[in-house]
């Protein structure tokens, strides 16, 4: 019997959006008659068991009333502990956006605890979050990816990328901390000024006049692509599809202005769909992800991937039609049908230790 635990929140700039995604998932499962646990990851990094039917406002001030503190122990047979006893969890439904819930950190802890979970494994999660590595891997496989470089003072960084520039945190979600700048000095200053770029930033060309197109992919019961969305930017207020437009206008992500399905020339739609399948396989997408593209004058660029998208991209599944309930049940079934990651000590038989000389002799 399925006993999922929906995990949301986390010490991330996307903490609040993650709560909304997690509460949507938890409420959907409750309404489906599933025995579900809700696990809140506070901004402090602590864990709490909470009522899965809570409203978002309960978290506005932090940890909600009547929450029960948990511990996450990354050891076999442990996992989420309530009063030293593991929660009975068949699978973790990961609804955490941004680092460390989406970048492989949480996934690694769940692997060590022997827990199954939705979304890609630690390696795929890290690749999806690292904008520099993601772009390089996609380009190496022949995809037409937005050219992207690490922001440094080295002149070679900027060769082939003309101003104005888009500067993004190297590790981060698809919208937070992104700025359009007109010169190199401003871009370099962001490394010190922006809290989102302390681990580095990437620069890419600002493609004037381009339009965003988003498509979701799910991997169970088979690989499927959703309808393609064209978000509508607020005229005169933003050069890019930013965090405020995506998550705050129109009552949130699902209420934001959009063209769905997007009206696209057949060859452009075919190009986007073909590339999305290729991206999903390269990253090792599991459950559901959203892949973002830019199009200008008939040219398609791959932008980035969200391996745990806002609202789990449920609103995109109008063709083929997939309900939020079915999307979640399929994600859970896929994860439960897999096996937790295992580790091996094959080859570590003590031979190297028995044949070693003294440690002092190895210090040089």
Tens-digit pLDDT profile for residues 66-81? 999 999 999 999 999 9
Residue 347 has pLDDT above 90, yes or no: yes
HSE-up of 301 (CA within 13 Å, CB side)?
Answer: 18
Q: How far from the centroid of its chain's Cα atoms is residue 251's Cα?
A: 22
| CA–CA dist 320, 138 (Å, integer) | 27
Fold of 120-144+208-338: D-amino Acid Aminotransferase; Chain A, domain 1 (3.30.470)
| Structure tokens belonging to residue 225 | 């692509």
Mean pLDDT within 25-40: 98
Confidence of residue 1 (pLDDT cuts 50, 70, 90): confident
Summarised one tens digit per residue, pLDDT across range 102-158 is 999 999 999 999 999 999 999 999 999 999 999 999 999 999 999 999 999 888 888
* Residues 4-117, CATH architecture: 3-Layer(aba) Sandwich (3.40)
HSE-up of 95 (CA within 13 Å, CB side)?
Answer: 31
Burial 99-109 (b: 16+ CB within 10 A, else e): bbbbbbbbbbb
Strands 299-306 and 288-296: antiparallel
Flag the least confident range among 11-25, 66-80, 179-193, 274-288: 179-193
Residue 312 has pLDDT above 70, yes or no: yes
| CA–CA dist 297, 278 (Å, integer) | 23
Burial 220-236 (b: 16+ CB within 10 A, else e): beeebbbbbbbbbbeee
User: Nearest CA to 311 among 283, 333, 289, 334?
Assistant: 289
| CA–CA dist 144, 294 (Å, integer) | 10
Confidence of residue 254 (pLDDT cuts 50, 70, 90): low
| CA–CA dist 203, 168 (Å, integer) | 7
Query: How big is the CA angle at 245 (ends 307 and 101), to the nearest 5 degrees?
Result: 25
In contact, 262 and 256? CB cutoff 8 Å: no
Confidence of residue 242 (pLDDT cuts 50, 70, 90): low
pTM: 0.92
Fold of 147-206: Dna Ligase; domain 1 (3.30.1490)
pLDDT recorded at residue 362: 84
Mean pLDDT within 52-73: 98
User: Nearest CA to 256 among 214, 308, 209?
Assistant: 214
DSSP annotation of 247 reads I
| CA–CA dist 20, 254 (Å, integer) | 11
Local structure of 218: helix, strand or coil: strand
Annotated domain spans of the chain: 4-117, 120-144+208-338, 147-206
pLDDT recorded at residue 233: 76
Report percent pLDDT > 70 for the chain: 94
Local structure of 119: helix, strand or coil: coil
Residue 184 has pLDDT above 70, yes or no: yes
Q: Which residues contact 181 (CB under 8 A, 6 or more apart)?
A: 163, 164, 165, 167, 187, 190
Flag the least confident range among 68-82, 195-209, 218-232, 247-261: 247-261
Summarised one tens digit per residue, pLDDT across range 218-227 is 999 999 999 9
Using omega within 30 degrees of 0 as the cis cutoff, is the peptide bond preceding 100 cis?
Answer: yes
Report percent pLDDT > 90 for the chain: 86
Helix-strand-coil split of the chain, %, nearest 5: 35, 25, 40
Residue 241 has pLDDT above 60, yes or no: no
Residue 247 has pLDDT above 80, yes or no: no
Confidence of residue 297 (pLDDT cuts 50, 70, 90): very high
Length in residues, the chain: 364
pLDDT recorded at residue 245: 55
């Amino acid at each position: 019997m399925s006993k999922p635990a929906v995990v949301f929140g986390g010490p991330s700039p996307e903490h609040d959006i993650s709560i909304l995604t997690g509460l949507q998932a938890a409420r959907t499962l409750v309404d489906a008659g599933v025995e579900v646990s809700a696990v809140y990851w506070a901004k402090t990094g602590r864990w709490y068991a909470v009522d899965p039917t809570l409203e978002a406002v309960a978290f506005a001030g932090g940890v909600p009333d009547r929450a029960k503190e948990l511990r996450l122990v990354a050891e076999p047979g442990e996992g989420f502990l309530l009063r030293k006893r593991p929660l009975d969890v068949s699978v973790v439904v990961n609804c955490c956006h941004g680092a460390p819930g989406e970048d492989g950190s949480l996934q690694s802890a769940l692997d060590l605890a022997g827990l199954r979970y939705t979304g890609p494994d630690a390696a795929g999660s890290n690749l999806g979050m690292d904008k520099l590595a993601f772009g390089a891997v996609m380009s190496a496989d022949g995809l037409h990816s937005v050219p992207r470089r690490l922001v440094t003072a080295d002149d070679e960084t900027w060769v082939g990328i003309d101003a104005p520039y888009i500067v993004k945190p190297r590790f981060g979600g698809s919208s937070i901390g992104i700025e359009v700048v007109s010169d190199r000095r401003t871009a370099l200053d962001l490394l010190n000024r922006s809290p989102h770029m302390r681990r580095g930033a990437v620069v890419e060309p600002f493609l004037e006049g381009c339009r965003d197109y988003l498509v979701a992919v799910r991997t169970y019961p088979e690989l499927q692509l959703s309808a393609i969305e064209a978000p509508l930017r607020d005229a005169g207020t933003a050069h890019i599809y930013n965090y405020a437009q995506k998550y705050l206008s129109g009552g949130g992500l699902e209420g934001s202005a959009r063209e769905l399905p997007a009206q696209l020339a057949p060859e452009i739609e075919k190009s986007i769909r073909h590339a999305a399948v290729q991206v999903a396989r390269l990253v090792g997408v599991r459950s559901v992800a959203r892949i973002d593209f830019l199009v200008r004058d008939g040219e398609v660029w791959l932008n980035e991937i969200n391996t745990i998208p806002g609202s789990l991209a449920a609103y995109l599944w109008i063709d083929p039609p997939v309900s939020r309930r079915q999307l979640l049940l399929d994600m859970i079934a896929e994860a439960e049908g897999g096996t937790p990651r295992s580790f091996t000590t094959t080859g570590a038989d003590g031979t190297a230790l028995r044949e070693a000389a003294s440690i002092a002799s190895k210090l040089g």
